[in-house]
């Protein structure tokens, strides 16, 4: 990276993450395919949210280099995600 530390992950790490991302997506698909689980929101909601969150952290942290970049970028992105979640929650509460 130019003007930054170039201490990015190795190619091997990128491939390992790709494998994990595929496995998580496969698990999500399997969970969805089990008909008894589909409507069990107490299980589906936290499980699928946790799996998606894991994927988001991996993509943002390693592929988008937030783990290695200037912390200011993490704050900019984190703050926007926080504001988005607030806006999302308010919209859902107001319109539902």
Report the interface residues with another protein, using CB under 8 A: 1-4, 6, 8, 11, 14-15, 17-18, 21-22, 25-26, 28-29, 31-33, 38-39, 41, 44-45, 48-49, 51-52, 55-56, 59-60, 62-64, 69-70, 72-73, 76-77, 79-81, 83-85, 87-88, 91-92, 95-96
CB neighbours of 25 closer than 8 A, spacing ≥ 6?
55
Q: How far is residue 77 CA from its own chain's centroid?
A: 13
Min dist. Cβ of residue 47 to another protein (A):
10
Min dist. Cβ of residue 25 to another protein (A):
5
CB neighbours of 55 closer than 8 A, spacing ≥ 6?
21, 24, 25
Min dist. Cβ of residue 45 to another protein (A):
6
Contact indicator for 83, 19 with CB cutoff of 8 Å = no
């Amino acid at each position: 990276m130019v003007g930054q530390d170039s201490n990015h992950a190795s190619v091997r790490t990128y491939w390992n993450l790709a494998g994990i991302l595929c496995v998580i997506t496969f698990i999500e698909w399997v969970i969805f395919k089990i008909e008894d689980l589909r409507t069990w929101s107490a299980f589906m909601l936290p499980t699928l949210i946790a799996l998606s969150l894991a994927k988001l952290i991996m993509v943002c942290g390693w592929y988008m280099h937030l783990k290695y970049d200037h912390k200011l970028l993490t704050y900019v992105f984190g703050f926007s995600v926080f504001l988005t979640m607030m806006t999302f929650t308010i919209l859902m509460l107001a319109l539902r």
